[in-house]
Chain A
Amino acid sequence: MIELATPTRASLESRELNAYYGDHHALADVTLAFRPLAVTALIGPSGCGKTTFLRTLNRIHEIASGARVTGQVLLDEENVYDPSVDPIALRRRVGMVFQRPNPFPTLSIADNVSSGLTKLRGEKRQEAVERALRAVGLWDEVSDRLRSSPLALSGGQQQRLCMARALAVEPEVLLMDEPTSALDPISSANIEELIRRLSDRYTIVIVTHNMQQAARVSDFTAFMLADESGSGRLIESNETNQIFFHPQDRRTEDYISGRFG
């Protein structure tokens, strides 16, 4: 079995983070530290800013026109919004998996996995592809058709391929934006199990609208809610058990118990 690189304990936290889409203040004053090598779930009703928050962490938020950010995101004590930081170097350390499985349709399965590997060539490249596919448990299913199109794979396989594509770059942090919302229950369970397995190697942040999922996969949970002007705010964060069984804030308790959202 080929082993992945030794886990690194990258620390990730946001400080007084605000995000805007044009005039819309989508995220207000979010300060949150993520535990290294643990899974943190961001939960909350639609429009609470949880996805926006996730997208500020690897600076993918800012590629939309009119989008901007104030405040800080610290990766190993370094502010990723410092003008000297290259967002490309950041994104290679902070990988992302999206809501819909989105393999590149014109590339083969192997080329999808290696698409972020700009430096590796030849055998090293193939090894990296195999390593990433094994890490997501897809190697045995696709090793005989690495050259064929990813579109023939099932939705769950495609999503694991997208995870392999993100892991191949050897990031330290993995951001996941509702990664199972487009999948059937069995595929979702596979992905959840995979997230649990990966959590001893990566710092994982997962956005989910599914509270059971947050309870199953996460070590820590952060609850977010939009204020009256529509700006997403962090209400409380704690160990997942504490959030679900002993919420400190009335609004968290209402959401957890299904009174709204």
Chain B
Amino acid sequence: MRRLGARTGSKIVDQIFVAVLLGAAIVFLAIILGLAASLVKGSLPSLRTFGFAFLWTSSWNPVTSIFGALPLIYGTVISSLIATVLAGVFGIFAAVFLSDFAPAFLARPLSFMIELLAAVPSVVFGLWGLFVLAPAMRNTIDPALQRTLGFLPIFSGPSYGVGLLTAGVILALMIIPTVTAISRDVLTTIPADQREASMSLGATKWETMMKVVVPAARAGIFGAIILALGRALGETIATTMVIGNRPEIAVSLFAPSYTLASVIANEFTEATSDIYLSALIELGLLLLIVSVVVNALARILMWSVFRGARSAR
């Protein structure tokens, strides 16, 4: 007769398995905490010298060792917002086209090419931005914007080709594949009978997409945009090549700017004094905080918008 108590081995295997999983989870936690701790430690001299003024002063001057990060925070947030708005609009339209309007012979190669766009290294985007997009912005797009929307301060002043708007456009190109691919996947999961129900009421295909299908997929699309925003905030090399690298806040989007990530990448090798190095490390800490805060805000926004729909489920 087999005894039920004899096979304790399986229990031990389970315990080992749980321990391994727990270990993996702890490693990630430890990495994040360790990262934050070393950033805080490295930026202590800068934190002591400048305090919170680091956040709202606008002078970034290595010569006099006076450092304020406001223009860099501004450049980071605004360039990412421009990118998110552009990529959101174009990405959602592209996803709607791919999921419901494109014939199969077009949808497959197009999807493939959009995903290929995600595989292009960012330095290549940067090169293209510098040699193709920047001259085009300076000679064609920016003047056209100025002619039509020049009454808005954000489209005023001279264009140098490199600047906030150019950086936003390059970032948009880099994050469009993320928005498009995820949104398309979410749209295709909306059941066919939702589309048919709308069509059977006499709605056009366009009305069906905009009133029924896209709203039903909104949580997933929003998630895609947040993911893309995260990438835009931290993108370094392409931004550095096209944003103009000038730590100033200008009203015009044509003006050169600078981002947290770009400053770190550009100036780390030249940071000769301890306070300079510490200020750069504090920028890294800020970038981490900005990313977390922007993500949290986006999630709160999503939660408040969808609360009604979710509580009903």
Minimum CB–CB distance for A100 against chain B, Å: 6
Question: B9 on the interface (CB 8 Å rule)?
Answer: no
Question: A181 on the interface (CB 8 Å rule)?
Answer: no
15 contacts between A and B (CB under 8 A): A60-B196, A63-B196, A91-B199, A91-B201, A102-B194, A104-B198, A106-B212, A106-B218, A116-B202, A116-B203, A118-B202, A148-B312, A150-B312, A162-B197, A166-B200
Separation of A104 and B213 alpha carbons in the complex (Å): 9
Q: Is the CB of B211 within 8 A of A98?
A: no
Minimum CB–CB distance for A254 against chain B, Å: 32
B204 closest partner in A (C-beta): A88
Taking CB atoms, residues of chain A closer than 8 Å to B202 are: 88-89, 91-92, 116, 118, 169
Q: Is the CB of A115 within 8 A of B198?
A: yes
Interface of A is mostly: loop
Separation of A162 and B215 alpha carbons in the complex (Å): 18
Q: Is the CB of A65 within 8 A of B104?
A: yes
Question: A261 on the interface (CB 8 Å rule)?
Answer: no
Separation of A24 and B191 alpha carbons in the complex (Å): 23
5 closest residue pairs by CB, A with B: A149-B312, A116-B201, A92-B202, A96-B200, A106-B215
Residue numbers of A with Cβ under 8 A of B are: 58, 60, 63, 65, 88-89, 91-92, 95-96, 98-100, 102, 104-107, 115-116, 118, 148-152, 162, 165-166, 169
Taking CB atoms, residues of chain B closer than 8 Å to A104 are: 194, 197-198, 211-212, 215-216
Question: B193 on the interface (CB 8 Å rule)?
Answer: yes
Minimum CB–CB distance for B292 against chain A, Å: 29
Interface residues on B, range: 20 to 34
B104 closest partner in A (C-beta): A65
B309 partner, pick from A105, A162, A165, A166, beta carbons under 8 A:
A105
Minimum CB–CB distance for B165 against chain A, Å: 34
Interface of B is mostly: helix
Please indicate which of the listed interface residues B104, B202, B215, B309 has the most CB atoms of chain A within 10 Å of its own CB.
Answer: B202
B200 partner, pick from A60, A105, A107, A118, beta carbons under 8 A:
A60
Which residues of chain B from 210 to 229 have any CB-CB distance to chain A below 8 Å in the complex? 211-212, 215-216, 218
Minimum CB–CB distance for B190 against chain A, Å: 10
- The answer to whether A102 and B197 touch (CB under 8 A), given A149-B309, A151-B312, A151-B313, is yes
Separation of A56 and B199 alpha carbons in the complex (Å): 13
B191 closest partner in A (C-beta): A102
Minimum CB–CB distance for A195 against chain B, Å: 17
Taking CB atoms, residues of chain B closer than 8 Å to A88 are: 202-204
Question: B308 on the interface (CB 8 Å rule)?
Answer: yes
Q: Is the CB of B103 within 8 A of A166?
A: no
Separation of A151 and B205 alpha carbons in the complex (Å): 24
Q: Is the CB of B216 within 8 A of A58?
A: no
B201 closest partner in A (C-beta): A116
Q: Is the CB of A91 within 8 A of B198?
A: no
Minimum CB–CB distance for A248 against chain B, Å: 34
B201 partner, pick from A63, A99, A165, beta carbons under 8 A:
A165
Please indicate which of the listed interface residues B194, B218, B308, B312 has the most CB atoms of chain A within 10 Å of its own CB.
Answer: B312
Separation of A105 and B200 alpha carbons in the complex (Å): 17
Q: Is the CB of B201 within 8 A of A166?
A: yes
Q: Is the CB of B201 within 8 A of A106?
A: no
Taking CB atoms, residues of chain B closer than 8 Å to A107 are: 215
